Amino acid sequence: MRSILLLSLLANQSFSSTAFKEGVCKLVAGKGSVKITYTHPITRKKLQEPFIKYLNKGKPFSYCSGSVIGPKVILTAAHCYQGTINQNTQVKIIPIMRQVKKIIDGKEVVAPIEFCKNNPYWHTHSQCVAGKVRAIYETSYEDVQAHCFDKKGDFFITPLKEKKGWPNPMFSNTYSKKRFDMAILHSEKDLSHISPISYTDNENDLKNLVSDYNYRGIECKAYGFGPRIKGHPMGDMKEMIIPVERYKNFVISSSEKVVQGGDSGGPLICPLSNGKTKLVGVVSRGIEDLRENIKPEFSISHDVFATIAQNKGWVQIALNQNNNAHLRKDDFHDVALEYELKFIHNEIKEVKSCFKKNKHRLNSQTSPYTQKEVKKAIKTTEKKHKEITKLYKKQRSVFNRAFLRDVYRATTDLRLMCHQIDY
């Protein structure tokens, strides 16, 4: 009975077992670990000494996917990378649970008390939230290799230059992870005998994938090495059918929900209107939203894909740096700063254009914002950008990329305001 149920479940999944696809890669770590630190949610005071949790019992394991797009270049997700900047740190506020027990007729039983009655955990776990703690998870991968399919379907194995990868620096900004979840990795061995997967960075190609907001759009294919069923082993390539149901804010999403851990960074390949098939993005994760603290428009989770169109400026910079054998950590940060300042400047220009296009809607009674509010928000954001640019030019040697967060947050707020009236 169990085997019949499993076969039925597999039959309903939107993926198939594919022997191989040339240019698709599996990222394998020789070993990995997660450093976990608990701190107070407000004071940030360390509550206990950090402890290490080893992944896969310290043995080699597959953890992400990627694509060959050049002779020594592999495209993947930024959260699959560590090196030039730490992309693998996550901070979560988690509840501390406790059981409430009481002696009744000489027996100790779990019993509700006043503050538990409306607690969402009470009815499912007979527990109450006693407090919250800030948990910092720092993932580390060592001896990373890319196992890439060649023309014959054999794996070609190459070490990766872990400290010389180029993750989009915007990904490290708390408010922009889904849009910028993309990185370029550099192979230590030549990959020219593997045909690169052709990609497009033209946004018009993406807009044609779905012609209407509620239309079940073009069917694309994603490839990855995650498990076929959650909790099962991973490492074998699977082909996933992805109907594009939504393209907004440079992010593609689908409610098929077939993507699993290990598929991250794998290619999303779509048929275009010109008859060609191109790589348009990479498997990301989570629910597509502009700000992590803003509820998404859909209550269900989506398979989410970061697009090359959104990241094309950074991809081009990273490709140009591929032959730089003397790249230092500081070089990355210098290039990243220039890119981020320019990107924010262009974001402000695009948002102003958006509001200009929707000027008639700002005058309507249904608009959530008035023209006066919009003008004030734009003026404030432009002022912040000018101040931070001036500071960068004057104190370049001591300028920290963290200084950009405030102005980028203001820019993201503007973009969100525009999306609420741009329909």
What string of pLDDT tens digits covers the 423 residues of the chain? 444 434 344 444 555 555 679 999 999 988 888 889 988 877 888 888 898 988 888 788 888 999 999 998 999 998 888 654 555 667 777 776 666 666 667 777 766 555 565 666 556 666 666 667 888 888 888 888 999 999 999 999 999 876 567 888 888 765 567 788 899 998 889 999 999 999 999 888 887 776 544 445 678 899 999 887 665 667 788 898 888 877 776 778 777 678 888 899 999 999 888 888 999 999 987 433 333 333 333 334 578 899 999 898 899 888 887 655 555 555 777 888 888 888 889 889 988 988 888 888 887 777 888 888 888 999 999 999 999 999 888 887 778 777 888 888 888 888 878 877 766
| 389 and 302, same domain (yes or no) | no
Which of these, 388, 382, 376, lies nearest to 348 by C-alpha position? 382
In a domain? residue 196:
no
CA 59 – CA 365 distance, rounded (Å): 62
| 55 and 104, same domain (yes or no) | no
pLDDT confidence of residue 203: 82
In a domain? residue 198:
no
**Could you list the residue range(s) of the whole structural domain that residue 128 is in?**
94-134
In a domain? residue 192:
no
**How many domains, in total, are found in the chain?**
4
| 269 and 408, same domain (yes or no) | no
In a domain? residue 16:
no
Which among 254, 282, 311 is the end of a domain? Answer: 311
| 246 and 369, same domain (yes or no) | no
| 64 and 164, same domain (yes or no) | yes
In a domain? residue 3:
no
| 45 and 154, same domain (yes or no) | yes
Strands 251-254 and 303-307: antiparallel
| 73 and 154, same domain (yes or no) | yes
Which among 157, 186, 215 is the end of a domain? Answer: 186
| 126 and 256, same domain (yes or no) | no
- The pair phi, psi for residue 351, each rounded to 5°, is -65, -40
CA 384 – CA 412 distance, rounded (Å): 13
3-state secondary structure of 20: coil
In a domain? residue 38:
yes
| 237 and 116, same domain (yes or no) | no
In a domain? residue 2:
no
CA 138 – CA 104 distance, rounded (Å): 45
| 238 and 361, same domain (yes or no) | no
- What CATH number is associated with residue 210? 2.40.10.10
CA 375 – CA 378 distance, rounded (Å): 5
